Amino acid sequence: MTPEASGTGEAGTNNSGKTPLSLSPELLGAVRRVAGTEHLLVAMDFDGTMAPLVDHADDSRALPRAAAAFAALACLPRTTTALISGRALGSLRAVAFPPEETLLIGSHGAEVWMGPGSAPLVLDDAQRELRGEVRQVLEEIAAHAPGTLLEDKPAGVVLHTRLAADDVAEDAVAAARAVLQDRRGVFLKNGNRVLETSVVHASKGEGITFLRQATAATAVVFAGDDTTDEDALGRLLAGDLGVKVGLDFTQAEFRVESPIHVGELLEALLRERKQALGA
């Protein structure tokens, strides 16, 4: 999909009625349509979508406009908000400060929080042993790849390469894939300067499908920026709204250029949802 065909452009005004929006008339029309559904699920990726990408994961924060509109959506009737992230749930909570009502999908779908009493992810003995073997492989690779580092998650280990030189990052990821890609029970995903490893088969697509069924949503809005978000975008149905953040190839019908515009998108959705509900 080309940027010209993706639904970006100059149109509309924000809540103050003064500042031009970057959302196209086509995207605003799609927002208006989906906002009128009976039960709306607003599911968002976090890093690179509500929050700009940063070098250090702990420094990530949602942009204020996106956070405020998302929190306001969470308070509306017949409206469910969710975050679907590659982060572990603990990491996601630490940086996203999600509204109390917001449902959480972490570790690319391996972790699920549906409210108080939700059971944590528990690996069996074989999975724990395999996760340890994966970590040993990645530790050896990272030791010879300056600028790379490891992040432990409940279901696996992540090789981060954002701080490494491009050639070092490529070599490290290639080395890890060469060792791990055929290992039974290990699942690999490429992301923005990361290689995700997991001993639990899960995806953001499965997360979207689960949330739709669990909330009885009649329409879903999902926005994401990464390769792994394509799994979720691919699970959307007719009547849903999928938005790609950034200029990479996508199967989404619409796109916005950056997290700044995600704030505008959520504000437009909030405005249209409140009108549809008579709130």
Residues catalogued as catalytic: 45
Are 206 and 169 in contact by the 8 Å Cβ rule? The answer is no
Segment holding 25, helix H or strand E: helix 25-35
CA geometry: angle 132, 184, 118, nearest 5 deg: 65
The neighbour count for residue 4, using CB atoms within 10 Å, is 8
CA distance 142 to 149: 6
Angle, to 10 degrees, between the axis of helix 64-74 and the axis of helix 259-277? 30
User: Diameter of the chain by CA atoms?
Assistant: 60
Cβ atoms of 205 and 189 closer than 8 Å: no
Give the 3-state secondary structure of residue 4.
helix
For 11-36, give one letter per residue: b (16+ CB within 10 A) or e: ebebeeeeeebbbbebbbebbbebbe
